[in-house]
């Protein structure tokens, strides 16, 4: 199913011509309207007129996360403030947040992209979508909300947490689709189990759009299995609208990135040099349709690769591999680079392991992984638990090249999150 078949299956040559036209227009607009980019262009000695092909994007300056904080609140606006319609911010744990402005056209466009994402997994106006992301300054919930309304779904703006209420709403309004973070989806599955609610028997759930935190294929399967639904991986970031940047189609084999709206590059996270299709690196995005706040070559810090070749669904927009980590999340333990997702992949592949875990770093590079046992993983024998602990440690060593301590803990004893999970606790005295 297509929302906008013409643009979703556009020929590559036509797509590239459209991208170039939009890139040139964007470069011209920021060069004349945004002092921040005027200065960057001057430093690099580049003029918008020099953009003759898509490869020329490399001449343009990168924009990094710190640039958004430094130009806060209105330094990156490309339109008069009166022409903006909505403000979101991106969570800043320290200091100032990033301010993100939308014009009326930007709001509509973001909803349009969400509509494409939803329809490509088979969502129709007959669906009931319960939106479990945080409403407010965070883009996650509102952008999805507008997109789902565009498709004609009944949207329940539940927000995250308050699991009792979530279950009530799901039961009484026969919710078919949820939009949720992976950690809350797992939490909810546990909660339903404790309440004695069988999702296959008692709920009408069919699909979940899961995103806002990176997660692994093993976690996807765990959620699918626990809730009896299809889980579609979604990718977005507040700096680029929020959700709806890249979503999976019904084939679940990578996320189509809407290339008519975003110019996509994969670069070496250290040098910023472009990498060819198929190689893993940092995702860099340039907005092609944004009015209020265009961004050139934004360094997302997300690590992924482009999946080469066509998708059976017929969409020509290239697919991104599942995000394997954030350049910022990378841990260095005993000199080894480790992404938390590597640890999660190992844990979630073991049936005796439950749904929650925690990585604790202490002292001089001591790594301990606290792992919840699955309810069914306990048979009363301490020897079996000891054996499982060493099996987990051995498997982790094979994956991350350093052997952590593994502490198995009873199910439900690690802190749970109803929003974004805090998986890593770094108390090292380095």
C-beta closer to another protein: residue 362 or 375: 375
C-beta closer to another protein: residue 265 or 372: 372
Q: Using CB atoms within 10 A of its CB, is residue 59 exposed (0-12), middle (13-18) or buried (19+)?
A: middle
Minimum CB–partner distance for residue 426 and another protein (Å): 21
C-beta closer to another protein: residue 39 or 413: 413
Minimum CB–partner distance for residue 408 and another protein (Å): 6
Q: Using CB atoms within 10 A of its CB, is residue 344 exposed (0-12), middle (13-18) or buried (19+)?
A: buried
C-beta closer to another protein: residue 165 or 407: 407
Tell me how far apart the alpha carbons of residues 140 and 147 are, in angstroms, rounded to a whole number.
11
Binding site for another protein (CB under 8 A): 373, 375, 378-383, 385-386, 389, 407-413
Minimum CB–partner distance for residue 407 and another protein (Å): 5
Minimum CB–partner distance for residue 186 and another protein (Å): 17
Tell me how far apart the alpha carbons of residues 306 and 212 are, in angstroms, rounded to a whole number.
20
Minimum CB–partner distance for residue 194 and another protein (Å): 9
Minimum CB–partner distance for residue 385 and another protein (Å): 6
Minimum CB–partner distance for residue 237 and another protein (Å): 37
Tell me how far apart the alpha carbons of residues 230 and 207 are, in angstroms, rounded to a whole number.
5
Minimum CB–partner distance for residue 414 and another protein (Å): 11
C-beta closer to another protein: residue 13 or 382: 382
Tell me how far apart the alpha carbons of residues 259 and 296 are, in angstroms, rounded to a whole number.
14
Residue 329 has φ and ψ, to the nearest 5°, of: -85, -10
Q: Which two tokens stand for residue 2?
A: 């297509």
C-beta closer to another protein: residue 296 or 373: 373
Give the dihedral sign, CA 208/209/214/218. Answer: positive
Tell me how far apart the alpha carbons of residues 59 and 76 are, in angstroms, rounded to a whole number.
20
C-beta closer to another protein: residue 92 or 412: 412
C-beta closer to another protein: residue 382 or 398: 382
C-beta closer to another protein: residue 113 or 388: 388
249 within 8 A of 233, measured Cβ to Cβ:
no
Minimum CB–partner distance for residue 97 and another protein (Å): 38
C-beta closer to another protein: residue 221 or 405: 405
Minimum CB–partner distance for residue 376 and another protein (Å): 9
Q: Which residues contact 271 (CB under 8 A, 6 or more apart)?
A: none
Give the dihedral sign, CA 134/136/142/143. Answer: negative
Q: How many residues does the chain have?
A: 430
203 within 8 A of 176, measured Cβ to Cβ:
no
């Amino acid at each position: 199913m297509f929302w906008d078949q013409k643009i979703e299956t556009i020929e590559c040559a036509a797509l590239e011509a459209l991208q170039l036209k939009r890139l040139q227009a964007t470069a011209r607009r920021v060069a004349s309207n945004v002092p921040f980019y005027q200065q960057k262009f001057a430093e690099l000695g580049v003029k918008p007129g020099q953009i003759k092909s898509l490869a020329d994007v490399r001449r343009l300056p990168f924009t990094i996360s710190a640039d958004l904080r430094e130009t806060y609140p209105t330094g990156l606006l490309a339109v008069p403030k009166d022409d903006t319609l909505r403000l979101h911010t991106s969570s800043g744990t320290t200091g100032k947040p990033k301010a993100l402005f939308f014009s009326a056209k930007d709001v509509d466009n973001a909803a349009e992209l969400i509509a494409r994402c939803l329809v490509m997994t088979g969502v129709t106006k007959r669906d009931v979508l319960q939106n479990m992301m945080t409403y407010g300054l965070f883009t996650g919930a509102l952008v999805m909300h507008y997109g789902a309304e565009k498709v004609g779904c009944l949207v329940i703006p539940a927000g995250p947490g308050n699991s009792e209420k979530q279950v009530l709403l799901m039961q009484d309004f026969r919710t078919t689709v949820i939009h949720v973070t992976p950690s809350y989806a797992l939490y909810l599955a546990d909660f339903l189990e404790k309440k004695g609610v069988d999702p296959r028997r008692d709920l009408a759930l069919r699909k979940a759009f899961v995103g806002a935190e990176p997660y692994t294929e093993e976690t996807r399967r765990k959620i699918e299995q626990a809730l009896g639904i299809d889980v579609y991986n979604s990718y977005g970031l507040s700096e680029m609208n929020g959700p709806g940047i890249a979503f999976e189609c019904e084939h679940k084999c990578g996320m189509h990135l809407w290339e008519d709206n975003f110019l996509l590059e994969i670069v070496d996270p250290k040098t910023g040099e472009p990498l060819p299709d198929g190689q893993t690196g940092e995702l860099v995005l340039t907005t092609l349709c944004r009015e209020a706040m265009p961004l050139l070559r934004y360094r997302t810090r997300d690590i992924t690769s482009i999946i080469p070749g066509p998708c059976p669904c017929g969409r020509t927009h290239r697919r991104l591999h599942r995000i394997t980590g954030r350049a910022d999340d990378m841990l260095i333990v005993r000199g080894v680079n480790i992404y938390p997702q590597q640890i999660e992949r190992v844990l979630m592949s073991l049936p005796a392991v439950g749904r929650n875990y925690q990585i604790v770093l202490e002292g001089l590079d001591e790594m301990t992984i606290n792992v919840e046992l699955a309810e069914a993983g306990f048979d009363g024998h301490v020897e079996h638990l000891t054996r499982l602990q060493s099996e987990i440690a051995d498997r982790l060593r094979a994956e991350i090249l350093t052997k952590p301590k593994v502490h198995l803990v009873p199910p439900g004893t690690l802190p749970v999150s109803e929003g974004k999970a805090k998986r890593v606790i770094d108390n090292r005295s380095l």
